[in-house]
């Protein structure tokens, strides 16, 4: 794989109704209904809204045989109305439901963590090699039965691994690791290969975008070594809603799309399902536009491990680099600039505008040729001014540089001046490739200068800025290269919103916690309470709890697992009932829905007071 030049991974073709994916087909977009699958009228109406938004597949929950059987009616009504979109059945806990769904859906999603294995109990189990082999044989026998039905019906399948629902059997052998997630998937793929069943799509998701990216990278590597080319479905599960859902999804999915992975994507938002499609389309189209770009000639650093990346080793210069949290640099060139005190940048670049009013407790960056040495300000250089850098006594200096300018003279200067922070900028259509190339060139030459990435846009719509900037930063963050981010938007967006986007990108990459994080599912037919209203109520009451992670889950399918690194959780337990969690431990079961939010807030308050 070429880290610097965009090219889609070559995958096999999977036939899903009249809309195949993989190979050279476009990256497909999909969503999932949140209606009851027993309700034909509402489900059909929602499917049509998803189609009108541009969706190419629609998934429906089938928690029981009745829901699976009603897919026949939903399918019939849609076809009668001329809507040919393939339907995907979502199955957990009951393989018999998958057998029925295969008769009426164009694709069936099964979860390896609970297809044959019982629901995860979060207990420590020990399996002997013999016991483990017996469980695998039981899995094989039941799964082959399902595959034979799919063969007869020409039904595709998705093997959908979720970080939150790995089986206790997998956990006993591999732990809660990317390797365990990959093996959970590979057990099923090997059976598909043995049975010569090729209509298989894979997804391997987590609510932590970093875990998701690392696991997909590892999965592709293992598949390559075993001669498999199954297509990939990408998504960050429980991404949330609003800004957080868009940024977290674009960061994770965008990082994988940048490397050519992905044949279909879903942006999982805790919003109306049809709202997911435009976001996914913007993300896909932005990355795919890099095709046929001018080549980037670069060398991979010998000590870089794509499958197990660690943060690049840098020297600390003031509060930048050396393992410190990445900084945010803002740009301000007008006297009318503003700040949001909740997202105050660490540095502000003002260029040559020395007369701007200064904000207390913020450091300023000024072009070197007009820098006067005033307190709390530091000089910024461009390549042409490097010969004068030794004359400057500043203990911290910045250098704006492109990959093309990073020649031997500049590299020698960086080696001689470890106090320089590099600010990498690019106007290349594949800016990810060029900015990766800068990081690798520094590593190849043994340089430990911190590295900040400036991303420049001209967006008028905040959502566009969120999606594009997160997609561009994703690979740089997950490769371990980010010591700071500088967003500049020459459009009609407020300065404070741009700063907030930068901080939110770092939080989505789990590099810097600056606000409450909400791990919320998008909802489906299993959700038995108003998810969007509940999220809004919990957010309103907890938004001030900086760094706290709260999981808000519609049901138990992935609830405790996907909330594993959340501090507290709110999980639907049944119609009108909610259970509360502290991390993976249930602290109160079956609370009436109308009391549950208040009980959660009371528990958080009392627990944090201890």
Report the largest interatomic distance among the alpha carbons of the chain, rounded to a whole angstrom: 78
90, containing H or E segment: strand 87-91
Residues 333 and 270 in one domain: no
Q: How high is the pLDDT of residue 174?
A: 87
Residues 90 and 164 in one domain: yes
Domain boundary among 257, 288, 319: 288
Tokens found for residue 174: 């591999």
Question: Is 584 in the same domain as 444?
Answer: no
Mean pLDDT over 427-444 rounds to: 98
Q: Please name the residues in contact with 6: beta carbons below 8 A apart, sequence gap of 6 or more.
A: 258, 260, 287, 290, 291, 293, 430, 432, 433
- All residues at 6 or more sequence positions from 223 whose CB lies less than 8 Å from its CB, including other chains: 186, 189, 229, 230
- Give pLDDT, residue 55: 97
Q: Which tops the pLDDT comparison, 426 or 126?
A: 426
Residue 295 lies in a domain: no
CATH code of 600's domain: 3.30.413.10
Separation of alpha carbons 220 and 602, rounded Å = 45
Of 242, 243, 267, 240, nearest to 253 by C-alpha is: 267
CA distance 206 to 253: 11
Weakest-pLDDT range from 72-86, 156-170, 414-428, 570-584: 570-584
Q: Both 497 and 543 in a single domain?
A: no
Q: What is the pLDDT of residue 214?
A: 97
Q: How far apart are CA 426 and CA 18, in angstroms?
A: 41
Question: Looking at residues 38-47, what average pLDDT do you find?
Answer: 96
Find how far residue 120's CA is from the centre of its chain.
24
**Residue 538: what pLDDT?**
85
Residue 296 belongs to a domain = no
252 close to 473: Cβ distance less than 8 angstroms: no
Radius of gyration of the CA atoms of the chain, in A = 25
User: 346 and 456: one domain?
Assistant: yes
Query: Does 605 have pLDDT greater than 90?
Result: no
Task: Mark whether 213 and 237 lie in a shared domain.
Answer: yes
Q: Specify the 3-state DSSP secondary structure of 56.
A: coil
Q: What is the reported pLDDT for 601?
A: 87
Closest CA to 240 of 211, 207, 265: 207
Residue that finishes a domain, picked among 508, 525, 550: 508
pLDDT tens, residue by residue, 166-209:
888 888 888 888 999 999 999 999 999 999 999 999 999 888 89
CATH at 407: 3.20.20.60
How many domains does the chain fold into? 3
Residue closest to 475 by CA, chosen among 453, 450, 492, 500: 453
The predicted structure's pLDDT at residue 75: 96
Closest of 163, 137, 299, 268 to residue 219, by C-alpha? 163
The DSSP symbol for 116 reads S
pLDDT band per the 50, 70, 90 thresholds, residue 256: very high
The rounded distance, in Å, linking the Cα atoms of 102 and 153 is 7
Label residue 164 by pLDDT band (50, 70, 90): confident
Which domain range does residue 567 map to? 517-609
Shared domain for 124 and 170, answered yes or no, is yes
Sheet order of strands, 577-582 included:
517-520, 549-553, 568-574, 577-582, 585-592
In a domain, 318, yes or no: no
Model confidence over 560-598: pLDDT tens digits? 666 666 788 888 877 788 888 887 788 888 888 888 888
Inform me whether the pLDDT recorded for 494 exceeds 60.
yes
Same domain? 418 vs 542:
no
Do both 382 and 475 map to the same domain? yes
Answer whether residue 3 is part of any domain.
no
CATH number, residue 213 = 3.20.20.20
Residue 511 confidence class, pLDDT cut points 50, 70, 90: very high
H/E stretch holding 574 reads strand 568-574
Domain end, chosen from 455, 476, 508, is at 508
For residue range 516-563, list pLDDT tens digits in order: 888 877 667 667 677 778 888 888 888 888 878 888 887 666 556 666
Alpha-carbon span 362 to 7, nearest angstrom: 42
- Using 50, 70 and 90 to split pLDDT, how confident is the model at 10? very high
Distances (CA, A) of 590 to 5, 404, 573, 586, 587: 52, 61, 6, 10, 10
Same domain, residue pair 420 and 464: yes
Same domain (yes/no): 212, 350 = no
Residue 435 lies in a domain: yes
* Angle, alpha carbons 301-303-309 (nearest 5°): 100
**In this predicted structure, what is the pLDDT of residue 536?**
85
- Percent of the chain predicted with pLDDT > 90: 67
* Same domain, residue pair 334 and 233: no
Torsion of CA 100, 106, 109, 115, to 10 degrees: 30
Q: Each residue of 359-405: pLDDT tens digit? A: 777 899 999 999 998 889 999 999 988 888 999 999 999 999 999 99
Task: Give 95-147 pLDDT, tens digit per residue.
Answer: 999 999 999 999 999 998 888 876 656 565 678 888 889 989 999 999 999 99
């Amino acid at each position: 794989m070429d880290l610097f030049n965009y090219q889609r991974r070559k995958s096999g073709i999977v036939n899903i109704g009249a809309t195949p994916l993989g190979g050279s087909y476009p990256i497909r977009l999909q969503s999932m209904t949140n209606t009851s699958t027993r309700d034909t009228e509402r489900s059909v109406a929602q499917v049509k809204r998803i189609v009108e938004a541009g969706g190419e597949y629609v998934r429906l929950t089938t928690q029981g045989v009745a829901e699976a059987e009603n897919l026949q009616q939903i399918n019939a009504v849609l076809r009668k109305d001329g809507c040919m979109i393939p339907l995907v059945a979502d199955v957990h806990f009951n393989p018999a439901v998958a057998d029925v769904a295969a008769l009426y859906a164009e694709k069936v999603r099964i979860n390896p963590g609970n297809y044959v294995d019982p629901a995860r109990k979060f207990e420590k189990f020990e399996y002997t090699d013999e016991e483990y082999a017996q469980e695998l044989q039981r899995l094989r026998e039941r799964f082959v039965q399902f595959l034979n039905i799919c063969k007869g019906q020409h039904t595709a399948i998705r093997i959908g691994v979720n970080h939150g629902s790995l089986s206790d059997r997998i956990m006993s052998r591999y732990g809660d690791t990317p390797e365990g997630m990959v093996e959970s998937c590979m057990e099923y793929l090997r059976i598909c290969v043995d049975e010569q069943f090729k209509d298989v799509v894979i997804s391997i998701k987590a609510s932590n975008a970093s875990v998701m990216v690392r696991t997909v990278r590892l999965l592709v590597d293992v598949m390559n070594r075993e001669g498999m080319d199954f297509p990939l479905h990408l998504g960050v599960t429980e991404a949330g809603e609003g800004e957080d859902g868009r940024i977290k999804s674009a960061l994770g999915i965008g990082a994988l799309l940048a490397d050519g992975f992905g044949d279909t994507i879903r942006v999982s938002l805790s919003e109306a399902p049809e709202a997911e499609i435009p976001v996914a389309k913007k993300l896909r189209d932005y990355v795919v536009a890099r095709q046929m770009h001018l080549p980037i000639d670069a060398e991979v650093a010998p000590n870089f491990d794509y499958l197990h990346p660690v943060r690049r080793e840098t020297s600390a210069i003031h509060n930048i680099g050396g393992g410190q949290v990445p900084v945010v640099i803002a740009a301000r060139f007008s006297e009318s600039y503003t700040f949001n005190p909740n997202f105050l940048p660490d540095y502000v670049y003002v260029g040559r505008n020395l007369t701007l009013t200064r904000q207390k407790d913020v450091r300023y960056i000024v072009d070197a040729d007009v820098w006067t040495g005033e307190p709390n300000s530091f000089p910024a250089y461009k390549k042409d001014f490097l010969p004068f850098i030794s004359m400057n006594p500043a203990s911290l200096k910045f250098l704006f540089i492109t990959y093309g300018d990073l020649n031997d003279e500049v590299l020698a200067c960086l080696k001689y001046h470890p106090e320089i922070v590099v600010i990498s900028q690019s106007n290349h259509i594949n800016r990810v490739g060029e900015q990766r190339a800068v990081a690798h060139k520094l590593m190849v030459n043994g340089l430990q200068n911190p590295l900040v990435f400036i991303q420049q846009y001209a967006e008028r719509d905040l959502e566009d800025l969120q999606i594009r900037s997160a997609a561009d930063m994703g690979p740089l963050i997950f490769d371990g290269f980010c010591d700071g981010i500088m967003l500049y938007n020459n459009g009609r967006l407020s300065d404070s919103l741009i700063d907030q986007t930068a901080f939110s990108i770092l939080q989505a990459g789990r590099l810097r916690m600056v606000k409450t994080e909400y791990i919320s599912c998008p909802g489906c037919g299993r959700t038995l309470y108003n998810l969007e209203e509940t999220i809004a109520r919990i957010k309103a009451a907890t938004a001030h709890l900086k760094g706290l992670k709260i999981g808000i889950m519609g049901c138990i399918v992935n609830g405790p697992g996907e909330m594993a690194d959340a501090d507290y959780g709110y999980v639907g337990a049944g119609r009108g009932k909610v259970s509360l969690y502290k991390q993976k431990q249930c602290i109160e079961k079956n609370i009436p829905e109308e009391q549950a939010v208040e009980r959660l807030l009371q528990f958080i308050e009392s627990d944090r007071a201890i």
